Amino acid sequence: MAIISPTLTVSVACGVLALYVISRLLRGNGDRRSLPPGPKGLPVLGNISDLPKPGEPEWLHWLKHKDLYGPISSVTVLGQTMIIINDLEIAFELMRDRAAIHSSRPSQIFSGEIVGWKNATAMSQYNDVWKIHRKNIAKVASTNTSLKMFNRVQEVESAHFLLNLLDSPNDLFDHIRREAGSVILKTTYGYTAESHGRDPFVDLAGETMAGFAEAVIPGKWMVDVMPFLRYLPDGFPGTAFKGTGRQMADTLKQCVDQPYEFVKQQMREKRHKTSFLSQAIEDIGTDAEMEFVHKWSALSLFTGGADTTVSALMTFFLGIAVFPEVQKKAAEELDRVIGSGRLPISTDRDNLPYIMAIVKETHRWHPIGPMGLPHASSAEDTCRDYRIPKGAIIFANAWWFTHDPAVYADPMAFRPERFLDTPTHKAEPDPRSITFGFGRRVCPGRYVADNALFITIAQTLAVFSIGKLVENGKVVEPEVKFEPGMVSHPAPYRISIKPRSKMHEELIKAAEQEYPWEESDAKELENVKW
């Protein structure tokens, strides 16, 4: 067998790279109007060294551009222009008011083509297929009837969350993941997750979303800026991404196909529970084209709701532990409005303004997507006399928009009262107009997500006391630190969680009678052929 020499390998790779770069540069030479300002790039490579470093929070990296270059800036890597927005007015102008040309998604080779995320609603191009996905999800996530169905499921799983937290408070993060996964699995697939131990589908979804968060990091995968690398044989320099991509693709395929076949099997056997997917199959059918749409709409609803809820709830617990005065005010409102004989439910929402302010502050204090999902321009445009080229990738710094001290006083503090009108204070803007996305790409499941946060936050604060740990007589200060990524989570922390009193402990235990546990579908899922 012939052996390819290292010298030949490098020569071929360099030749292909040169041809690719020349073609990109020639395509970008047609319009000499100025791009938004930014750092001076290297010859040929452009601003490749100006991208966020591994482990660096992207929102803080790009915020530096605001002082250096102004509210709108740009970088260009191998001919690909990225627009960075650090001004909310400009973000609304481009992505909301001019949504017709700034609502697509970047064509990412690694996450989209190699792993397969291009088929998910949130990552698909702005086209007719995306509109069908969006319409399908809106049916289950935006109508009053479907929201009421979510209410009951969320109340059940929140009560189970309280029971698990009472039993093992040190496993807070696991309980949050289980609750978030259980709610969205039940409503999307009619699947009942394991109540206490690990659930295979919740674990699979967690692995899938961890892969997604890694796959979409801008600048991480060289194949995104040099697409020709995907055509080089395995073993060539720069092709290590291929093995990682295959593993992620296999996991994603299982997460798409296995639960879909589970629902179809349950329907054939007349044992299915009403869910988003079962209703879609009954209403529209399962021809090849619609089957594809059903699979990915369901996957998008599930993955979009589970991991984001996990991030938000982890942020809530951290904020409450670090700022204990918030819990005192919440307990006063809950005791006055709800009393001590029951748990709060979704219909109490309008009567609990401070709890709703906590929900808003959870969104604001650390947005789950600090840089949001990037938009892409489908046509040439201008903004503030700067050129926005067709195909440009647009990033809006949602973290800065919710931490601008000119808008939010003392932005690093967790202060829910900022959202309440008083005779001496005008309520600050609702951050959800930012944190759920912009324009036609606003999150279709935002009402469901918001209600899930309200129910869990209200019930938790009604019965638990959350604070800092004390070990060997010393207070353990939880670190307020958030990890980089498209969906950002707090770094691991430890806190104290105890029932507010013996009476509240009994109220938690009584929830098991009102909201009994159900048998898991885990074994059924594992037996499904996909």
The label of the residue with tokens 């040439």 reads 380
In three-state secondary structure terms, 499 is strand
Closest Cα to residue 178, out of 155, 156, 162, 194? 194
Residue 163: count of CB within 10 angstroms of its CB: 17
Q: Which residues face 307 on adjacent strands?
A: none
What is the number of H-type helices and E-type strands within the chain?
17, 10
What is the Cα gyration radius of the chain? 24
Closest Cα to residue 371, out of 427, 322, 438? 438
The pair of structure tokens assigned to 31 is 């319009």
DSSP for 64-109, written as a single string: HHHHHH-SEEEEEETTEEEEEE--HHHHHIIIIITTTTS-B----I
383 annotated as belonging to a binding site for a ligand: no
Q: Which residues face 80 on adjacent strands?
A: 77
Cα gap 400→497, rounded to integer Å: 31
The CA–CA distances, whole Å, from 390 to 48, 339, 507 equal: 20, 58, 58
The label of the residue with tokens 């309440």 reads 420
Closest Cα to residue 382, out of 26, 24, 36? 36
Closest Cα to residue 172, out of 302, 306, 318, 303? 318
The pair of structure tokens assigned to 500 is 């507010």
The pair of structure tokens assigned to 199 is 């659930």
**Which residues are annotated as part of the binding site for heme?**
443
**Which residues are annotated as part of the binding site?**
443
